[in-house]
Amino acid sequence: MTLDELRRQLNALDGLPGDTLVVLAASPEGVHYSPIQLVTEGLYEGDVHVGHFYLPEDLRQHLDDPSELPQAPAGARTAVGIFPSG
C-alpha cells in the first residue's frame, strides 16, 4: 500500500469518533513487518490482548458469500482494523 492509498482509506473513516479503538491484525505467517493491505471500519470483541474483528453487516453484504464471515456478537464495539498483506 502506498501513502496515498493509506490516506484515502483513513479519510473514509472521518465520521468515526476520535476515541474509536484501533486494532492491528497480526500477519498470518507471523512475519514481524508486513505492508498494510487494508484499513477498515468494523466491530471488535475481546480485550487488549486477544479478540476478534468482524466486518459490519453493510460491508459483509458486498462479499460474494456473506455467510463466509461470522456476524459480530451483540457486545462487539466499533473499531478500525489495520490488516497486513499476506
Q: 46 - beta bridge partners?
A: 51
| Predicted pLDDT at 85 | 83
Collect all residues with Cβ–Cβ distance below 8 Å to 34 and sequence separation of at least 6: 27, 84, 85, 86
| Mean pLDDT in residue range 47-56 | 84
| Global pTM value | 0.80
User: What's the pLDDT band for 23 if we cut at 50, 70, 90?
Assistant: very high
User: What's the pLDDT band for 31 if we cut at 50, 70, 90?
Assistant: confident
C-alpha cell at 82: 489495520
C-alpha cell at 13: 473513516
Q: What are phi and psi of 40, to 5 degrees?
A: -150, 155
Cα 70 to Cα 31: distance, rounded to the nearest angstrom: 26
| Predicted pLDDT at 8 | 94
